[in-house]
Chain A
């Protein structure tokens, strides 16, 4: 059960990361682009199992 929840959790992290990258590509304001990158870093650190 714990393993299934963990897999779902990592799938969610990957999905949110993909959404953030999509937002970064579509964004037209530089402030939002910086904000998106700052938000994205902890998601990627978790996705790559670094922190």
Chain B
């Protein structure tokens, strides 16, 4: 074989690799996720409604607003701050597709960092998506990453200086939505996104913001509510009620005053809203996990993480049953509903009453997919895409 022919053969092989991988990345980035909104959704707007420079960017996400039949408080749920923590996103899906507010107002965000949902961890060999089984065949979601897509915000600096605290954070966290609160109008895409959410919180006079997350079992902040000091009482009561009544352990921790950029700290500091952050266990995130597969993501079963637990290296229990996605989603729906009822008891003149959303036991019994609605059967004006 001549050198030129050899180069051509190698180049064609390389081009094939480029095309195959490129198609996979393109399809993952552009996968449309349907949302069939419930009858309780009264308005759907874009995040750029509150901060116009976001218009046309990857993070101009949908905001689903559910106006109650009677007035009350306003609660905002943020899903998809870290898209690779899918129980948070799926829980918001259940609210957007099922909830009806009889008292108060609910604002639901399914893709807080939409850019982060369009990429998986570089070099992490993550699956690009996952499918939740349903009676009508299943719904596929983008897996996403912890950080905004480098295609939307790049390059990263050597050191990330958080605004306005000027605290030094890890360089990569300049693309982490939960290290960029409260944001700034002339900052990076991620900072502009949190600034837009702050504008939304202020303009809509939101009383409570709940940011839904999942955590690795080797991380001490797990199975807990992290609360700004303004929400301490609410979080304590919700934690006690969940642990007593729903059959799963839910702790409560204070938001550290000197750790900046996080939603539970900055939303509370820079608005009138109470800020809470919920963590559910996700073995998929653990560094000691085995194969990083769709099955592992959804079952939460992993022999290596179980072994780490036997060596006392974890902050949450795990056995061969793992932490299935339905358990994690159910924890989040119950925790949000419990915050609403605890708030209503404390402030009966500003109630929050939400109907038609399944709690922990029901999600486990019927599966998350039982509460996802078929897009093929939806009216076009009730069908949206993330």
Contact = CB atoms under 8 A, between A and B. Distances in A.
Contacts of A27: 7
A37 B3 contact: no
B154 to A, nearest CB: 6
Contacts of B153: 2
A37 B25 contact: no
Contacts of B10: 30, 33-34, 37
Interface string A12-30: 0000000000001101101
B6 interface: yes
Given A28-B3, A33-B6, A50 B155 contact: no
Q: How large is the interface on A (under 10, 10 to 19, 20 to 34, 35 or more residues)?
A: 20 to 34
A3 to B, nearest CB: 11
Contacts of A48: 22
A37 B11 CA distance: 7
**Which of A27, A28, A51 has the most chain B CB within a 10 Å cutoff?**
A51
A9 B154 CA distance: 8
B155 A9 contact: yes
A17 B22 CA distance: 16
B42 interface: no
A6 B22 contact: no
A2 B10 CA distance: 37
B18 interface: yes
B119 A51 contact: yes
B7 A45 contact: no
Given A2-B188, A5-B155, A30-B6, A37 B122 contact: no
Contacts of A9: 154-155
B21 A45 contact: yes
B240 interface: no
B154 A50 contact: no
Given A40-B14, A45-B18, A51 B3 contact: no
Given A33-B10, A37-B14, A50 B3 contact: no
B347 to A, nearest CB: 42
B365 interface: no
A27 B119 CA distance: 34
B122 A51 contact: yes
B277 to A, nearest CB: 28
B25 A51 contact: yes
Contact of A41 (B7, B14, B154, B188): B14
Interface of A: 2, 5-6, 9, 24-25, 27-28, 30, 33-34, 37-38, 40-41, 44-46, 48-51
The 10 A-B pairs at the shortest CB distance, nearest first, are namely A37-B14, A50-B22, A51-B25, A50-B25, A33-B10, A49-B151, A9-B155, A41-B18, A37-B10, A44-B18
